[in-house]
């Protein structure tokens, strides 16, 4: 943190934070009051990185003007944010995150796709980047195809890795030669050289520099895979973040001006969101899954093994799963039938396809009719499901390491490098992004997350109230107290929890009995049949309630088949969703009429949508 940021944070009364998303720029104003730091207003406006504006600050000022109108305080002077402010105007601290311009788009390379290639990918993802492609000597492409790919994709930055320290220099050199031949140009701006981070075999650093420096700016850092058994991602991640500011952001349209308004470095949006998730998991000692579903990408963050001294944090970004720019890719990857399985009415395929494509090319539109909202939320379920699948696949241990396996591992069907994602350990799901944060009814957000992630046992559910977790992430780096207080009081909306037994049975047969009690509420006991979804009340979010449940024989809530569970949980505005639709497997009826009937019954039970009389 810079001295300027320190000084600004010290005793700050008004704090402004913005997030320049790929479609929308959001602004929040935080004020220190008698009860601590609180959110006082928010505003948003379309992001203006692209033509005809090509200046990100236009969107920032438009969003901040909405805040000004809401609070009646001048925050802008001479077309810039007034910071530091005066007694009657401006703010004491201003910070911003950004994923505009598609965020930080990187290509990474390693020698072997599954080893250094994968480590390089993890380093870039952890720093908040979108990995456009991974190039490796064994990626099956011919040299000139690699060259053409590098030129066509025009990344913002390249991470070159490969080889263990003291190993063969020749093959890393080959990769550098390919990069040199491609002479790739940076995506934004023409007046600067593409930054390349070299984090491979240290013995090859000089050779790599010699090959690449005429065309690119090379930053050599410690090897991210110094030996097969060790991964050392921090130096590469730090370099990515620094170069993001120094080279990429400084040349994006309007960013130089934006950077001059704040003493706090602009942080990539996903980096800021990951920071918040990690902090919450460590503070509450709970396994957390965070998801941020945006217009172009969906980020998934997880912290598992939360009770261990060093919990495991993973972040993945599904660069082409999102609700606007990438919406057609959700259709392509999930298949239209998988989207339609969540829609409780018949839809004409041709019209739906055109609608999805038009959302892709005009990404800021919103559903006006209820049917459109339901379809959009069905697409969101599939985007979340696919992003989560990708997360599970990448949140694994190191490959290429020789290690001893226990007998049980040897007999298990996995390869011994299984995902660390454990749905029974998962204690909290936090959803963020327009489709979740802005869902007209909070229960819609809860159901989208339950349908997409299929949590097991008892799991708390929350959403980012107004899509402000990224702003609080960057704020956390300079003003932890303000960020933490606003996060708990104004950002995190506790929806309640979902209780989902593992197992399957016959529709209508007993599945479990649930009892909920809490302050200022009469205890509720319900027997729930297999195939049903039931909503039970919980105390308000500020209170703590108790959930006790006894599964029928053959069903497991985490304590073993037929064994009861009991837990104290915070309340929530939606309540406790008892999801007895089955797990392992979860199945929807294959016949359209039966499926639609079930969906309508579940939506009705939860009060998910307005019902026409």
Partner 1 sequence: MQQAYSPGLRVTTRALVRRERRLPLRGSVLARVGDAVRPPDVIARTELPGNLQTINVALRLGVEPARVAQMLVKPLGADVRAGEVVAEARGLLGLGRRRVAAPAGGYLESVSPISGQITLREPPLPVEVQAYVQGTVVEILPDEGVVIESRGALLQGIFGVGGETWGQLAVPVSSPDAELSPAALRAEHRGCVVVCGARLSYEAVARARELGVTAMIAGGLDDLDLRRLLGRELGVAITGAEEVGITIVLTEGFGRMRMADRAWELLRARAGRLVSVSGATQIRAGVLRPEVLIPETDGAGTETEERFGATLAVGSLVRAIREPYFGRIGRVVELPSELSRLETEAMVKVLTLVFADDGTRVRIPRANVEIIGG
Strand partners, 457: 500
Closest CA to 392 of 498, 289, 297, 469: 289
How far is the C-alpha of 567 from the C-alpha of 461, rounded, in Å?
A: 15
Strands 194-198 and 157-160 come out as parallel
* Closer residue to partner 1, CB minimum distance, 184 or 505: 184
* Closer residue to partner 1, CB minimum distance, 101 or 503: 101
- Residues 6 or more apart whose CB falls under 8 angstroms from that of 613 comprise none
Closest CA to 431 of 467, 398, 391: 467
Strand partners, 310: none
Closest CA to 422 of 449, 446, 457: 457
Which residue bears the tokens 């944070």?
Answer: 9
* Closer residue to partner 1, CB minimum distance, 440 or 564: 440
| Min CB(537)–partner 1 separation in Å | 21
* Closer residue to partner 1, CB minimum distance, 98 or 116: 98
The 3-class SS string of 247-266 reads HHHHHCCCHHHHHHCCCCCC
Longest pairwise C-alpha distance within the chain: 74
**Structure token digits, residue 314:** 């993973």
* Closer residue to partner 1, CB minimum distance, 365 or 566: 365
**Alpha-carbon distances, residue 305 vs 286, 311, 317, 421 (angstroms):** 8, 5, 21, 9
Which residue bears the tokens 């226990």?
Answer: 406
* Closer residue to partner 1, CB minimum distance, 53 or 586: 53
Residues in contact with partner 1 by CB under 8 A are: 22, 24, 44-46, 49-53, 62, 66, 100-102, 142-144, 147-148, 151, 154, 181, 187-188, 296, 320, 325-326, 328-329, 331-333, 349-351, 353-370, 372-373, 438, 440-441, 610
| Min CB(162)–partner 1 separation in Å | 21
How far is the C-alpha of 537 from the C-alpha of 157, rounded, in Å?
A: 50
Q: Cβ distance 221 to 235 under 8 Å?
A: yes
| Min CB(465)–partner 1 separation in Å | 14
Q: Cβ distance 83 to 93 under 8 Å?
A: yes
Task: Kindly write down the DSSP assignment for every residue of 109-123, as one continuous string.
Answer: EESSTTTHHHHHHHH
| Min CB(44)–partner 1 separation in Å | 6
| Min CB(339)–partner 1 separation in Å | 12
How far is the C-alpha of 314 from the C-alpha of 394, rounded, in Å?
A: 8
| Min CB(254)–partner 1 separation in Å | 12
* Closer residue to partner 1, CB minimum distance, 77 or 349: 349
| Min CB(192)–partner 1 separation in Å | 15
How far is the C-alpha of 293 from the C-alpha of 318, rounded, in Å?
A: 10
| Min CB(445)–partner 1 separation in Å | 13
| Min CB(85)–partner 1 separation in Å | 24
406 burial class (0-12, 13-18, 19+ CB within 10 angstroms)?
exposed
| Min CB(216)–partner 1 separation in Å | 16
| Min CB(395)–partner 1 separation in Å | 24
**Structure token digits, residue 238:** 């730090």
* Closer residue to partner 1, CB minimum distance, 50 or 425: 50
**What DSSP designation does 562 have?**
T
* Closer residue to partner 1, CB minimum distance, 223 or 326: 326
How far is the C-alpha of 165 from the C-alpha of 323, rounded, in Å?
A: 43
Which residue bears the tokens 């539109």?
Answer: 365
Strand partners, 532: none
Q: Which helix (H) or strand (E) holds 428?
A: strand 426-432
* Closer residue to partner 1, CB minimum distance, 154 or 171: 154
* Closer residue to partner 1, CB minimum distance, 62 or 504: 62
| Min CB(48)–partner 1 separation in Å | 9
| Min CB(1)–partner 1 separation in Å | 28
* Closer residue to partner 1, CB minimum distance, 11 or 350: 350
Distance, first Cα to last Cα, the chain? 58
Which residue bears the tokens 């029928």?
Answer: 552
* Closer residue to partner 1, CB minimum distance, 351 or 593: 351
């Amino acid at each position: 943190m810079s001295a300027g940021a320190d000084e600004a944070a010290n005793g700050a009364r008004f704090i402004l934070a913005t997030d320049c998303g790929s479609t929308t720029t959001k602004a929040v104003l935080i004020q220190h009051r008698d009860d601590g730091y609180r959110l006082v207003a928010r505003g948003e406006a379309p992001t203006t990185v692209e033509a005809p504006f090509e200046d990100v600050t236009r969107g920032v000022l438009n969003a901040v003007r909405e805040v000004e109108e809401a609070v009646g305080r001048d925050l802008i002077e001479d077309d810039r944010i007034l910071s530091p402010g005066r007694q009657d105007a401006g703010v004491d601290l201003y910070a911003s995150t950004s994923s505009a311009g598609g965020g930080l788009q990187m290509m990474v390379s390693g020698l072997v796709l599954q080893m250094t290639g994968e480590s390089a990918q993890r380093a870039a993802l952890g720093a908040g980047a979108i990995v456009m492609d991974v190039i490796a000597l064994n990626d099956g492409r011919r040299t000139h195809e690699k060259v053409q790919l590098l030129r066509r994709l025009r990344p913002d930055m390249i991470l070159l890795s490969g080889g263990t320290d003291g190993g063969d220099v020749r093959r890393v050199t080959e990769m550098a030669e390919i990069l040199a031949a491609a002479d790739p140009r940076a995506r934004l701006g023409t007046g600067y050289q593409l930054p390349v981070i070299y984090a491979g075999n240290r013995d090859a650093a000089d050779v790599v520099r010699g090959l690449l420096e005429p065309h690119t700016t090379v930053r050599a850092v410690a090897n991210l895979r110094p030996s097969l058994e060790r991964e050392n991602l921090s130096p590469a991640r730090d370099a990515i973040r620094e170069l993001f500011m120094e080279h990429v952001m400084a040349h994006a349209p309007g960013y130089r001006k934006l950077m001059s308004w704040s003493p706090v470095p602009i942080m990539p949006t996903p980096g800021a969101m990951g920071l918040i998730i990690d902090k919450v998991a460590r503070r509450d000692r709970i396994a957390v899954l965070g998801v941020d579903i945006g217009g172009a990408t969906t980020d998934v963050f997880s912290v598992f093994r939360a009770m261990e001294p060093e919990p495991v944090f993973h972040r993945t970004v599904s660069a082409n799963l999102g609700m606007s720019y990438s919406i057609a890719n959700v259709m392509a990857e999930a298949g239209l039938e998988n989207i339609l399985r969540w829609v409780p009415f018949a839809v004409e395929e041709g019209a739906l396809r055109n609608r999805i494509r038009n959302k892709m090319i005009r990404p800021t539109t919103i559903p006006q009719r209820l049917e459109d909202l339901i379809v959009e939320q069905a697409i969101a379920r599939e985007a979340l499901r696919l992003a989560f699948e990708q997360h599970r696949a990448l949140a694994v241990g190191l490959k290429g390491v020789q290690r001893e396996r226990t007998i049980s591992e040897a007999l298990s069907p996995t390869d011994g490098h299984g995902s660390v994602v454990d749905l029974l350990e998962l204690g909290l799901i936090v959803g963020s992004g327009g489709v979740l944060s802005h869902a007209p009814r909070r229960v819609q957000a809860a159901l989208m997350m339950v349908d997409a992630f299929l949590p097991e046992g008892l799991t708390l559910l929350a959403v980012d109230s107004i899509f402000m977790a990224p702003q609080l992430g960057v704020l956390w780096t300079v003003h932890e107290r303000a960020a933490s207080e606003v996060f708990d009081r104004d950002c995190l909306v506790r929806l309640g929890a979902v209780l989902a037994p593992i197992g399957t049975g016959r529709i209508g047969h007993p599945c479990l009995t649930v009892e909920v009690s809490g302050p200022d509420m009469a205890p509720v006991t319900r027997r729930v049949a297999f195939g049903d979804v039931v909503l039970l009340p919980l105390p308000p979010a500020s209170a703590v309630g108790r959930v006790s449940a006894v599964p029928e024989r053959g069903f497991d809530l985490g304590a073993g088949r037929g064994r009861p569970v009991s837990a104290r949980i915070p309340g929530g505005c939606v309540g406790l969703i008892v999801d007895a639709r089955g797990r392992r497997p979860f199945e929807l009826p294959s016949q359209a009429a039966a499926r639609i009937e079930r969906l309508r019954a579940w939506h009705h039970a939860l009060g998910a949508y307005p019902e026409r009389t």
